[in-house]
Amino acid sequence: MEKILIVDDDRELCELLQDYLGAEGFRTCAAHEGRAGVRMALEEDFDLVVLDVMLPGLNGFDALRRLREDSQIPVIMLTARGEEVDRIVGLELGADDYLPKPFNPRELVARIRAIARRAGGGVEGARPPEKIQVGDLCLEPGLREARLHGEPVELTSVEYGLLEMLVRHAGQPVSREALSRQVLGRRLTPYDRSIDVHVSSLRRKLGGERIKTVRGVGYLYACTVGED
């Protein structure tokens, strides 16, 4: 993950983030309005978008909606601190993660690298990862793609990561803490509903009752390997 688009109308913040991310080895571009950000994200070759909620012209939520119509590029939303509804709405619309303002640029780098680890493929020349077949669901870890009844399922980076972890433990409960650490790259905090929102989105996309809630623990993929 090398090239990052920052979409925020705070030019000073954009310059700060571009300097910081540049020092960390990332290439960056900035847009200061929602429509321009969407156009750049779709027309140019970016690996990730950092997208503010409060934008002139086209707000961050509408920009994310338009992005998700044509792209599954990873998106980190920047939200106002304390605005839980903004974080939940962003995740429900397909954001991979969120970061409340003000934030330490080091945490943004950590979130970007966590997404990069999820999206990273195997070592060049290594044997491709085996497909994971669980009933009518097939995952291809090397491509990070999912197929249901042979048809592709459009998943964000986080959704794929959650699904793969649950499917690898099919029939066994996986704690929310483990999912957060492994997929989001961070510890679960008491009021963090990110995992729950992503699981809710997965349920809508997969249908049925494949992912079950295990009260007081986490989630379980109900179909066992080899089940018809």
Q: What is the 3-state secondary structure (H, E, C) of the chain?
A: CCEEEEECCCHHHHHHHHHHHHHCCCEEEEECCHHHHHHHHHHCCCCEEEEECCCCCCCHHHHHHHHHHHCCCCEEEEEECCCHHHHHHHHHCCCCEEEEECCCHHHHHHHHHHHHHHHCCCCCCCCCCCCEEECCEEEECCCCEEEECCEEECCCHHHHHHHHHHHHCCCCCEEHHHHHHHHHCCCCCCCCCHHHHHHHHHHHHHCCCCEEEECCCEEEECCCCCCC
> Which is it for the CA torsion 155, 161, 166, 167, positive or negative?
positive
Strands 137-140 and 145-148: what pairing? antiparallel
pLDDT of residue 207 exceeding 60, the answer is yes
Token pair 């491509």 is found at: 143
How far apart, in whole angstroms, are the C-alpha atoms of residue 2 and residue 22?
A: 10
pLDDT at 129: 63
Q: Which token pair is 217?
A: 């623990």
Domains for the chain: give ranges and CATH numbers: 3-119 (3.40.50.2300), 132-221 (1.10.10.10)
pLDDT of residue 88 exceeding 80, the answer is yes
pLDDT at 151: 94
Average pLDDT over residues 178-192: 87
pLDDT at 120: 63
Residue pLDDT, tens place only, 94-109: 999 999 998 999 999 9
pLDDT at 225: 43
The backbone torsions φ and ψ at residue 127, rounded to the nearest 5 degrees and listed phi first, read: -65, 130
Better-scored residue on pLDDT, 209 or 214:
214
Q: Which token pair is 104?
A: 């330490």
The Cα-based distances of 78 to 61, 81, 104 in angstroms read 11, 9, 12
pLDDT of residue 133 exceeding 50, the answer is yes
How far apart, in whole angstroms, are the C-alpha atoms of residue 2 and residue 215?
A: 40
User: What percent of the chain has a predicted confidence (pLDDT) above 90?
Assistant: 68
How far apart, in whole angstroms, are the C-alpha atoms of residue 91 and residue 156?
A: 10
The backbone torsions φ and ψ at residue 174, rounded to the nearest 5 degrees and listed phi first, read: -120, 130
| Average pLDDT across the chain, whole number | 88
